[in-house]
Amino acid sequence: MGLRRAFGWSVIESVGSRVFDLVALWLVMNALPDSEIAIFGLATAAIFLFNLFFIAPETALMRFQKEWKKEGCLPLYLGAFVGFNCIKLLVHMFGLIIAVVYVGFNGVFYAIVFSLATQLIQLAEISRIYHRMELQQNFVAKYELILKFAWMMVCGSVFYFKSAAWYFGIFAVWALLSAIFWISVLYRGMRFDIPFNGMAKVLVETVKGFSLWSHMAGVITVFLYNANVLFLQWFGKVEVEDVALMTVVNKTANLFFVIPMFIQGFVPVVLANSNNQGRNMRIVLLGNGAISFIQFAAFLLAGTLFGRLFGVENNMVEEYYRLGIWVCLGIFILNIGRPISTFLMMKAPPWRVFAFVFLPVALLAVLVFGYASFQFQTVGVAVACCVIYCALTLVLFVNFILFRTNKNR
């Protein structure tokens, strides 16, 4: 499959997944009462704390898969990645037992369940990355859309149970079934074994060269996406209804990351399979920018409708729209620079990208979110989102220009 067809299938997967995610979120937000939405928001926002420790070495496939395949050692790396992800799942299971014994079935327990589900999704991502790098986007899109459609349908059951606990339970089961499917597909194609004796050596080699810095950048990114809810809860001195409203704003606005995220994920494919990287990168940037603008325009025109669709009460819809404009404006600006983030990770030293792009913005975010939530509550954290996303975009472009300037010397 050529790059153009692969990109087309990536777009189909992106749009289709976004539609199913949108409907699933609509079902959940309309089914849960405010108290349960607040639990949902806080448990999911805390995911960056877990991601901080659970590194994803398989991201190195995006940079080295072609090289490893040529050298004949790709099955060794795939087996090590699968084995390490299984260890992470066992750690989560142990954490759930500890949580039940000492704190019971509260927000901490649900946060661990959500993290467990995301690790199952990450396990499945090993197979998806492999197939995308082999230009099998049509295969990935077909089955990923089937799985996402099934998830959307299952979310309808939340209307009956009206419980965040039920949501996290079915999410974990769905993620488990997805992981079993994708790893089975990968095994049939590659016949890898888990190298128990040499796994540590393989992982250390992979992590120190690329995955550690990619992982830390990803942790900071997830933190930036969810920090507004957390800081509002910690420092905002607000009612549970305010946390619930900000959760709805955050979850619906973050849907606008989905398509640009898939386009961003196509950048390693372009860099690994294209003879004209500059031209194809410009196409990716232009297409991504156009989609990002359309998304923001859609919220400007129909933001109040989005609020009503996702269960916001009539007397809070205008507030939802005002908060959403700030968050969506920041997302629109950040989406324009998303492909540059991956380009820099693939081409520049990853540690340098982390140190000069993501780390400074993370430190700035702690200060801005802390002050904004304490002084201005919901409006403050919404505006803070826009400020931080703009800052990250600016730093990305500055580092991209510096990289190109130094390369051309």
Question: What is d(CA 274, CA 279) in angstroms, rounded to the nearest whole number?
Answer: 9
Question: What is d(CA 384, CA 374) in angstroms, rounded to the nearest whole number?
Answer: 12
Question: What is d(CA 183, CA 188) in angstroms, rounded to the nearest whole number?
Answer: 9
CA-wise closest residue to 322 among 256, 381, 387: 381
Question: What is d(CA 349, CA 79) in angstroms, rounded to the nearest whole number?
Answer: 26
DSSP secondary-structure letter at 354?
I
Task: Band the pLDDT of 53: cuts 50, 70, 90.
Answer: confident
Mean pLDDT, residues 59-86 taken together: 87
Task: Band the pLDDT of 278: cuts 50, 70, 90.
Answer: low
- For residue 73, the SS3 value is coil
343-399 pLDDT, tens digit each: 888 888 888 888 898 999 999 999 998 888 888 888 888 899 899 999 999 999 999
Domain ranges of the chain: 3-403
Exposed, middle or buried: residue 72 (CB in 10 Å: 0-12, 13-18, 19+)? exposed
Task: Band the pLDDT of 277: cuts 50, 70, 90.
Answer: low
- Mean pLDDT of all residues in the chain? 84
**pTM value?**
0.74
CA-wise closest residue to 368 among 235, 242, 218: 235
- State how far the alpha carbon of 316 is from the alpha carbons of 37, 93, 236, in Å: 15, 39, 18
> Secondary structure of 164-229 in the HEC alphabet?
HHHHHHHHHHHHHHHHHHHHHHHHHHHCCCCCCCCHHHHHHHHHHHHHHHHHHHHHHHHHHHHHHH
CA 292 to chain centre: 17
φ and ψ at residue 239, rounded to 5 degrees = -80, 165
